[in-house]
């Protein structure tokens, strides 16, 4: 019987060991080769894949430049805040934590869930932006997976409503939306930086790799605005609107010599620190966007045109009897019958008839070019967004009444800034300067009228604020004031309504003007509607304090001394006279020390 053959495995052990060793060796070679391929040949690809999962390039926020007034007082500053954000993918994996997160954020759970669901394929969503760092810290303290915070900046305006229309405001991304924030947005915004970091799977930064680009902060901006004068103008304009129940108003103060805007206010206003929810109508800067018919504030320009053409002199007289005149199918009237007036009297009494008689002999093209030379019908080019050009029709489009009505301020329109610019030219010896909001900026200038004519008209305008003029309430003790009132009816469909725009434009001190100021109040409903009683007092109140703040020396010392003397006389007269007996009793009670060396005379001295 044949026995089974012996197990051959014992005889093939060596071969099997060699096979296993060869297999392991080949695997090792393959692994080494693969590692070499991954780390040497195709390293960049896998590096990118790794970085795509864990390395992020995140922005480094930067702040906007600060805005200051001409004296360095802050008007707009950027303060650090925190924004809470989340990773929707991570948050949706923990739905049980969403109610807690919603309570921490102060939002409805349904709203939070909806926002996250809409961005379920994203890795980033803002949960709450630009909040106090302490608030952000309280939210993060809940340790909800996928919730983080980052540093941002928020704009703050210390002056609030008083400076709102000049500065404007920024949006939630810190981009300028209105005013000078918009005009100088690129200058102030700066450039955010960037850095590369490694995040873990929860989105937390575990390592800063390198700085890609350093953040560049925005540049500061120094305005020509004087915060103190700005507040004065805002306060007095607000008081005037309250007293007269007017619908709106504007005030502009220019530095005559430089064209710098020292103050510009409008009412109604808004709070730039809380823009949302306010009426959009309050956001516009009426002083540069809203047009008014200048009314009688045009009469000094008309007088200057006639004097500059050599058609009249200051002593030329005009007969305005009987106080009205027919012009086509219309009748032009003065407030009273002023009889015969010289050129100065036309400004003093604000005679419409006198202005018409001055303009009638002037060539149409000359009159048009002269008015345009004072900035009417052209943008002021101050750099403020949305400047209105105004309307000034060319002579080819005039009818038989246009030149006559333009002579006393109807048939053309301008902004309060344009009127202030024109009056500043009269105060600057006839030289028109482009207005600016930037301190120290030198703008273009040109001669609008002969210097001697401008100076002559300025002297005529002084009579407006003196006894017999239409704006005695604009007078300032110790200073000569040159100005002009303008009370214009507001245009409506088919003509003019019984609603008024009251304007006062003035220069002070008149002998060497420092300030050109225009006050416009629309539609006063209480009391008088005449500019001399509505707008002129605002001018006086603002300029009285502005002259003191800027240390402008008085140019009318005699009047000031006379007023001081009258005041002292009144005070003396108000002191009650004591009866003679009572006066003697006071004398008996008065102890007068003896002369030196006589204290012991007669042995009766006291020690």
Which residues are tagged catalytic?
A: 296
The pairs formed by 177-183 with CB atoms below 8 angstroms and a separation of 24 or more are: 178/283, 178/385, 179/285, 179/384, 179/385, 180/67, 180/221, 180/223, 180/384, 180/437, 181/67, 181/76, 181/155, 182/385, 183/383, 183/384, 183/385
Instruction: Say if CB 505 and CB 517 are below 8 A apart.
Output: yes
Q: What gap in Å lies between CA 491 and CA 349, rounded to an integer?
A: 24
Instruction: Say if CB 541 and CB 236 are below 8 A apart.
Output: yes
Among candidate residues 124, 70, 413, 498, the one with its CA nearest the CA of residue 262: 70
Q: How far apart are the first and last CA of the chain?
A: 167
Q: What gap in Å lies between CA 104 and CA 127, rounded to an integer?
A: 11
**Residue holding tokens 């005679």?**
351
Q: Following DSSP, what letter does each residue of 114-138 receive, concatenated?
A: HHHHHTTT-S-EEEEEEE-HHHHHH
CB neighbours of residue 597 within 10 Å: 7
Tell whether the torsion through CA atoms of 199, 202, 206 and 208 is positive or negative: positive
Among candidate residues 226, 230, 257, the one with its CA nearest the CA of residue 515: 257
Task: Kindly give the residue spans of alpha helices, DSSP state H, lying in 245-350.
Answer: 286-289, 299-308, 343-349
Instruction: Say if CB 407 and CB 358 are below 8 A apart.
Output: yes
Among candidate residues 237, 267, 260, 282, the one with its CA nearest the CA of residue 69: 260
Beta bridge partners of 496: 491
User: Angle at Cα 419 formed by Cα 418 and Cα 424, nearest 5°?
Assistant: 95
Among candidate residues 229, 159, 70, 224, the one with its CA nearest the CA of residue 549: 229
Q: What gap in Å lies between CA 290 and CA 313, rounded to an integer?
A: 36
């Amino acid at each position: 019987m044949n026995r089974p053959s012996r197990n051959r495995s014992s005889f093939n052990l060596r071969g099997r060991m060699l096979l296993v060793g060869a297999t392991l060796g080949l695997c090792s070679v393959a692994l080494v080769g693969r590692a070499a391929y991954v780390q040497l040949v195709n390293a960049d690809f896998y590096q990118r894949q790794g970085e795509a999962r864990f390395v992020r390039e995140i922005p480094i926020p930067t702040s906007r430049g600060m805005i200051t007034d001409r004296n360095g007082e802050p008007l707009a500053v950027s303060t650090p805040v925190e924004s809470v954000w989340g990773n929707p993918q991570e948050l949706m994996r923990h739905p049980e934590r969403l109610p807690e997160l919603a309570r921490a954020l102060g939002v409805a759970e349904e709203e939070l869930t909806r926002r996250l669901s809409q961005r379920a394929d994203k890795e980033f969503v803002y949960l709450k932006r630009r909040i106090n760092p302490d608030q952000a810290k309280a939210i993060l303290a809940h340790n909800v997976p996928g919730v983080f915070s980052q540093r941002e900046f928020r704009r703050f305006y210390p002056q609030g409503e008083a400076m709102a229309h000049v500065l404007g405001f920024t949006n939630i991304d810190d981009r300028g939306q209105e005013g000078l924030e918009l005009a100088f947005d690129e200058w102030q915004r700066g450039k955010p930086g960037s850095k590369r970091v490694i995040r873990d799977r929860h989105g937390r930064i575990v390592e800063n790799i390198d700085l890609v680009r350093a953040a560049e902060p925005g540049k500061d901006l120094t305005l020509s605005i004087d915060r103190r004068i700005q507040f004065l103008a805002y306060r007095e304009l607000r008081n005037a609107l309250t007293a007269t129940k007017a619908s709106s108003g504007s005030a502009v103060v220019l530095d005559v010599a430089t064209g710098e805007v020292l103050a510009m206010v409008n009412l109604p206003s808004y709070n730039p620190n809380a823009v949302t929810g306010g009426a959009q109508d309050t956001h516009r800067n009426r002083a540069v966007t809203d047009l008014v018919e200048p009314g009688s504030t045009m009469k000094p320009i008309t007088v200057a045109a006639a004097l500059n053409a050599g058609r009249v002199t200051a002593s030329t007289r005009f007969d305005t009897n009987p106080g009205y005149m027919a012009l086509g199918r219309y009748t032009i009237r003065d407030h009273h019958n002023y009889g015969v007036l010289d050129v100065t009297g036309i400004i003093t009494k604000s005679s419409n008839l006198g202005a018409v008689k001055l303009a009638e002999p002037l060539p149409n093209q000359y009159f048009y070019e002269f008015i345009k030379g004072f900035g009417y019908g052209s943008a002021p080019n101050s750099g403020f967004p949305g400047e209105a050009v105004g309307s000034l029709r060319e002579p080819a489009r005039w009818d038989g009444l246009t030149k006559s009505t333009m002579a006393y301020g109807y048939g053309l329109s301008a902004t309060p800034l344009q009127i202030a610019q024109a009056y500043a030219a009269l105060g600057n010896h006839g030289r028109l300067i482009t207005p600016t909001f930037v301190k120290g900026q030198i703008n273009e200038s040109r001669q609008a009228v002969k210097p001697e004519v401008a100076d002559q008209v300025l002297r005529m305008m002084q009579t407006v604020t003196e006894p017999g003029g239409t704006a005695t309430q604009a007078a300032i003790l110790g200073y000569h004031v040159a100005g002009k009132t303008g009370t214009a009816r507001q245009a409506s469909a088919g003509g003019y309504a019984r609603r008024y725009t009251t304007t006062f434009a003035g220069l002070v001190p008149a002998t060497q003007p420092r300030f050109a100021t225009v006050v416009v109040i629309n539609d006063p409903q209480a009391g008088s509607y005449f500019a001399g009683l509505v707008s002129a007092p605002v001018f006086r109140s603002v300029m009285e304090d502005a002259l003191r703040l800027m240390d402008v020396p008085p140019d009318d010392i005699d009047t000031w001394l006379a007023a001081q003397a009258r005041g002292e006389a009144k005070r003396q007269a108000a002191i009650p006279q004591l009866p003679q007996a009572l006066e003697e009793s006071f004398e008996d009670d008065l102890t007068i020390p003896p002369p030196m060396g006589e204290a012991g005379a007669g042995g009766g001295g006291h020690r």
